[in-house]
Amino acid sequence: MNQLDALKLHTTVVADTGDFKQLAQFKPQDATTNPSLILKAVQKADYQPLLLGTVRRFKDRPLDEIMDRLLVRFGCEILSLIPGRVSTEVDARLSFDTPATVARGERLIELYQAEGVHIDRVLIKVAATWEGIQAAEQLEKRGIHTNLTLLFSFCQAVACGQARVQLISPFVGRIYDWYKKSAGSDWDEAAHAGANDPGVKSVREIFNHYKHFGIATEIMGASFRNVGQITALAGCDLLTISPDLLAQLAASEAPLARALDASAAAALDLPAAQFDEAGFRFALNQDAMATEKLAEGIRGFVVDAVKLEQLMLAAQANA
């Protein structure tokens, strides 16, 4: 049995890609997208017709609506190839605007429903800012399920659990990146590998807290840099993995055992935790890594959303 098949015994495997033509070979349950992945996809010849076709069909609509229609088009293509759910992201420029995030999430769902997609097959991705978490809570109350992304800290995870969001995406690789960069020449790769990886440790802390206190929110580890981070989180609810790393797992016959266990977490002696807005903002402020990576992540998604808009404007001019 290869490592990918072994991982599927313990964890729901999710493909982290906008390149849906790669999905069939890995047979993931779910798939996730974001502006950066869609931008990367539409620059490939195989996917340019999707961009051009969407822009031509809706060229007289506002640019933000065309963007959402393009995201939904990709999502529908992905859903035709997987049995589970696709995550589609709200514009990162709305990360600090609760009402606008709610409105955009509702529109994305309406567009999916117009294509015949059931509401339970879509997760609306929202940045895990305080405002984003509040928006997600409102969407969940309306039956729209959410995926809280750009999650780097325990306080973000606790607040998401309080809001009863469907799923969170802690970013393992970006946490690892920050600590490695911060340590500079003092970084010891071997000492921080596997279970000792700072990103892995962050997800394990969240997993143990959720399972100990019976929090139903799903945990989906994301943003992996190497196979070791993935195998160290076998047993996590879900793991969203790039096609390159999925291929590495599929090519390896090395043994893979469960690393996270909900029943073991339930037996731990852990303190309760909860955050109001002031407590959340202070806790996030005290975590330099999470503060920096959240802001950086939002900026990065905004840059790629703008680039995607520029491609759409160019297509619109030629339509």
Q: Residue-wise pLDDT tens for the chain (319 aa)?
A: 999 999 999 999 999 999 999 898 999 999 999 989 999 999 999 999 999 999 999 999 999 999 999 999 999 999 999 999 999 999 999 999 999 999 999 999 999 999 999 999 999 999 999 999 999 999 999 999 999 999 999 999 999 999 999 999 999 999 999 999 999 999 999 999 999 999 999 999 999 999 999 999 999 999 999 999 999 999 999 999 999 999 999 999 999 999 999 999 999 999 999 999 999 999 999 999 999 999 999 999 999 999 999 999 999 888 7
For position 194, what pLDDT does the model report? 96
For position 3, what pLDDT does the model report? 98
Angle at 17 (CA atoms; ends 297, 126), nearest 5 degrees: 40
CA gap 85, 5 in Å, rounded: 20
Domain with residue 183: its CATH number is: 3.20.20.70
| Number of neighbours of residue 57 by Cβ within 10 angstroms | 13
| Number of neighbours of residue 274 by Cβ within 10 angstroms | 11
Residue-number span of the structural domain to which 113 is assigned: 3-317
Half-sphere exposure for 213 (CA within 13 Å, toward CB): 17
| Number of neighbours of residue 239 by Cβ within 10 angstroms | 27
For position 35, what pLDDT does the model report? 86
Residue in 125, 141, 180, 211 annotated catalytic: 125
CA gap 159, 161 in Å, rounded: 5
CA gap 25, 229 in Å, rounded: 22
For position 24, what pLDDT does the model report? 86
Q: Are strands 86-89 and 30-32 parallel, antiparallel or unpaired?
A: parallel
CA gap 203, 154 in Å, rounded: 9
For position 82, what pLDDT does the model report? 96
Contact 233, 259 (CB under 8 A): yes
Q: Are strands 218-221 and 12-16 parallel, antiparallel or unpaired?
A: unpaired
For position 317, what pLDDT does the model report? 87
Q: Is the pTM of this model over 0.85?
A: yes
59 given a catalytic annotation: no
Count of the separate structural domains present in the chain? 1
Q: Read off the tokens for 175.
A: 């946490």
